[in-house]
Amino acid sequence: MLKTLKIIQFRRYQIRFQISACRLYSSQTNPNEDAINNFANLPVERIRNFSIIAHVDHGKSTLADRLLELTGAIKANSGSQVLDSLQVERERGITVKAQTVSIFHNYKNERYLLNLIDTPGHVDFSNEVSRSLAACDGVILLVDACHGVQAQTVANYQLAKNRKLAVVPVLNKIDIKHADPEKVCKDLKNLFGIDPQRVLKVSAKLGTGVPQVLDTIIETIPPPKVDRNSTFRALLFDSWFDRYRGALNLIYILNGKLEVGQDIQSYTTKKVYPVKSISILRPAETEVTSIAAGQVGLIAVNMRNSKESIIGDTLHLKNETCTPAGSFKPQQPMVFAGVFPADQSKHVALRSAIDKLILNDSVVTLKVDSSPALGQGWRLGFLGLLHMEVFCQRLEQEFGAEPIITAPSVTYRIVLKNPKMIKQMGTDTMEISNAALFPEPINIKEYYEPLVKGTIITPTEFVGQIISLCVERRCIQESSVNIDNDRMLMNYIMPLSEIILDFNDRLKSLSSGYASFNYEDHGYHLTNLVRLDIHLNGKPVEELCRIVHVSKAKDIGREMTTKLKETIPKQMVQIAIQACVGSKVLARETIKAYRKDVTAKLYGGDVTRRMKLLRQQSEGKKKMRSIANIQVPHETFINVLKR
């Protein structure tokens, strides 16, 4: 009995010690609790809003980790890339979705609020960067000290300068033995006119020089230009969907103050919503009662459909008049692909998964499509090939879907000349991304294809090979500039259809991984297109037709007929595979029929008997070929159509 009492007493002491330790730890790890409680009262002069922009894999998320650790937002050694919360981001080592976090930093005995936005670095997610910059007054331009200025670095710098944002240049990875900070500083001066003395040199992995970055942000980036004395007005610059709370909106307050319980109204849709909760991201959600001008916050307003959450919309108080804060030009999809279920019994489940994922990626467009070979499906529009791959990977990982993805294509523009078709459609211009809908050439006046403006930065030793690749892909050089003695920047006008599949892979292969590539939309231009049809024994197969440039038709025709010969199994009749443009055959392959030796049972005898049997077999095959349907397995269509 005494022993039991001693055990109970020991347990009580143990529990009391744990509780006191937790309280002590809580007091040590929450030094900013007072600042959060008085969040809305923080003076505008002590607020800094900034983004980290860089080329992919230059260390943005790692630098963000160090900034969060130094300011106490997360504990040291919490893990790498804390802000990269998606599984696809951690597996690929890239940032897909811009992430916002509010941190506090003490500078000269004053507490400052820093709103940090970690942005993606790949060109396919540049819309995330442009949206993020709308809520910023400055940026950290991060450059790898080993690889130097890359193509996306140039594009991001131009985005920041166009918005007249303050730029804090930072060199990362100076701890690596191959780093050359002096050379990279010269490149920054030659390209952007940045004084080498202003460039901060850090190692985000080790934390070297990172405290100086925080101080420089406060010294260089100006406070937001806002007015707290007027009525509430905010810019909605990001949103995502939560299955329990609906659409959550990330807003940047331009005027006034917002409190829980107030009613706000959308300037675009005129709908009114009650403010249910206000949070700041640290990076986990921390609820506050109010936020004021100059600050960034997350609000839940019972918005059930994310389509009501329009990026670039202005929010204001109910029954108040206001001027729009600004708008974003919605980015148009550039790459289209068909998405089909592997089994039609999973059609409903795949549709549900796509709908849910589009709620969190509103740039993706959706249109119902069908294929006699693959069944009912959808045609989805993406910003680029990586965007498409990430979307499909998220379908598999987050929803357990198993989609079949067809080869990506682009949208062509066609001007019609047939008066009957023009009257029927109500316009003389139509946009087509599905080759099966391509009109007959006799009805078409002009063809247009989408172009992009590409930027390539490469070591000079690979220039010749890269120029040959660009000529092969019908690219036109605009300019060529030497960054220094070892590297060159080249600008090209490129047909989008020539670069969406494997251009970047070929570029990396030719340059041993040292060249970088970035592109942006450049409109449409006049071209010459044809519809390439695939015929099996003279019968066209619509599922396999493609829209190609006239100069590429023969090569693509040979490639497709060869691939079909390898994938279509032998049958009882001979199969002629033809790639045709109109009535002209550009390429042909033949699959021989199964042949039985009908003379095997004859032992000796007259040769005329053998010839008679062979002639009968030949006539039978000919008759069978004239009436037979070619059985193309479902797997063959998948292998040919999928990327």
Does the annotation place 148 within a ligand binding site? no
Residues contacting residue 204 through CB under 8 Å, at least 6 positions apart: 59, 62, 63, 65, 66, 172, 173, 210
Question: Which conformational region is residue 469 in: left (phi greater than 0), alpha (psi within -120 to 50 degrees), or beta?
Answer: alpha
Quick one: 434 and 345 in the same domain?
no
Identify the CATH number of the domain in which residue 171 sits: 3.40.50.300
The rounded distance, in Å, linking the Cα atoms of 532 and 360 is 37
Residues contacting residue 643 through CB under 8 Å, at least 6 positions apart: 337, 405, 406, 407, 408, 501
Does the annotation place 174 within a ligand binding site? yes
Does the annotation place 173 within a ligand binding site? yes
Does the annotation place 57 within a ligand binding site? yes
Quick one: 402 and 429 in the same domain?
no
| 64 membership: H or E segment, kind and range | helix 60-70
The number of angstroms, rounded, from the C-alpha of 462 to the middle of its chain's C-alpha atoms is 28
Does the annotation place 605 within a ligand binding site? no
Quick one: 199 and 243 in the same domain?
no
The number of angstroms, rounded, from the C-alpha of 510 to the middle of its chain's C-alpha atoms is 24
Quick one: 270 and 166 in the same domain?
no
Distances in whole angstroms, Cα of residue 432 to Cα of each of 412, 533, 641: 5, 16, 18
Q: How much is the average pLDDT of 336-365?
A: 81
In contact, 254 and 309? CB cutoff 8 Å: no
Does the annotation place 122 within a ligand binding site? yes
Does 223 score more than 70 pLDDT? yes
Beta bridge partners of 337: 380
Query: If we measure between CA atoms, which residue out of 397, 390, 399 comes closest to residue 346?
Result: 399
Q: Are strands 200-201 and 166-172 parallel, antiparallel or unpaired?
A: parallel
pLDDT of residue 495: 92
**What is the domain range of residue 352?**
335-407
The rounded distance, in Å, linking the Cα atoms of 115 and 102 is 5
Residue 199 has φ and ψ, to the nearest 5°, of -80, 125
Q: How much is the average pLDDT of 106-124?
A: 80
Kindly provide the b/e burial profile for residues 603-635, where b requires at least 16 CB atoms within 10 angstroms of the residue's own CB: eeeeeeeeeeeeeeeeeebeeebeeeebebeee
* pLDDT tens column, 8-43: 454 444 434 333 333 333 333 444 565 566 677 888
Query: If we measure between CA atoms, which residue out of 355, 368, 224 comes closest to residue 295?
Result: 224
Beta bridge partners of 304: none
Evaluate whether residue 615 is within a structural domain: yes
Q: How many domains does the chain fold into?
A: 5
Does the annotation place 481 within a ligand binding site? no
Evaluate whether residue 250 is within a structural domain: yes
Please tell me which residue, 544 or 50, carries the higher pLDDT value. 50
Verify cis geometry, omega within 30 degrees of 0, for the bond prior to 283: yes
Last residue of one domain, picked from the residues 407, 423, 442: 407
Evaluate whether residue 11 is within a structural domain: no
Does the annotation place 408 within a ligand binding site? no
Residue 389 has φ and ψ, to the nearest 5°, of -65, -40
Distances in whole angstroms, Cα of residue 113 to Cα of each of 40, 45, 128, 132, 235: 11, 10, 23, 17, 19
Last residue of one domain, picked from the residues 527, 552, 576: 527
Percent of the chain with pLDDT over 70: 82
Evaluate whether residue 18 is within a structural domain: no
Tokens 């030719």 belong to 510
Identify the CATH number of the domain in which residue 243 sits: 2.40.30.10
Does the annotation place 175 within a ligand binding site? yes
pTM of the model: 0.73
Query: If we measure between CA atoms, which residue out of 165, 175, 167, 166 comes closest to residue 209?
Result: 175
Does the annotation place 121 within a ligand binding site? yes
Tokens 């916002």 belong to 100
- Interior CA angle at 85 toward 116 and 74, to 5°? 55
* pLDDT tens column, 116-142: 887 776 666 676 777 778 888 899 999
Does the annotation place 302 within a ligand binding site? no
Quick one: 349 and 287 in the same domain?
no
Please state the three-class secondary structure of 378-409 as a single string: EEEEECCHHHHHHHHHHHHHHHCCCEEEECCE
Quick one: 429 and 373 in the same domain?
no
Encoding tokens for residue 8?
């109970």
Looking at residue 208, the DSSP 8-state letter turns out to be: B
**Strands (E) located in 318-472:** 335-341, 365-371, 375-382, 403-405, 412-416, 429-432, 444-459
Does the annotation place 29 within a ligand binding site? no
Quick one: 391 and 438 in the same domain?
no
Quick one: 71 and 207 in the same domain?
yes
Evaluate whether residue 325 is within a structural domain: no
* pLDDT tens column, 227-255: 888 889 998 888 877 778 888 888 889 88
Encoded amino acid at 88, one letter = V
* pLDDT tens column, 294-325: 888 899 888 876 677 777 888 888 888 888 87
Residue 582 has φ and ψ, to the nearest 5°, of 65, -125
Q: Are strands 314-317 and 335-341 parallel, antiparallel or unpaired?
A: unpaired
pLDDT of residue 29: 40
pLDDT of residue 168: 92
Encoding tokens for residue 452?
């992009």
Evaluate whether residue 22 is within a structural domain: no
Identify the CATH number of the domain in which residue 402 sits: 3.30.70.870
* pLDDT tens column, 446-461: 999 999 898 898 888 9
**Strands (E) located in 64-126:** 99-107, 110-118
Quick one: 147 and 62 in the same domain?
yes
pLDDT of residue 487: 85
Does the annotation place 127 within a ligand binding site? no
pLDDT of residue 6: 46
The rounded distance, in Å, linking the Cα atoms of 385 and 214 is 36
Does the annotation place 147 within a ligand binding site? no
Does the annotation place 579 within a ligand binding site? no
Does the annotation place 608 within a ligand binding site? no
Looking at residue 569, the DSSP 8-state letter turns out to be: P
Evaluate whether residue 389 is within a structural domain: yes
Band of residue 169 on the pLDDT scale cut at 50, 70, 90: very high
Evaluate whether residue 24 is within a structural domain: no
Does the annotation place 535 within a ligand binding site? no
The rounded distance, in Å, linking the Cα atoms of 354 and 394 is 10
Quick one: 216 and 272 in the same domain?
no
Quick one: 105 and 90 in the same domain?
yes
Quick one: 386 and 247 in the same domain?
no
Last residue of one domain, picked from the residues 484, 503, 527: 527
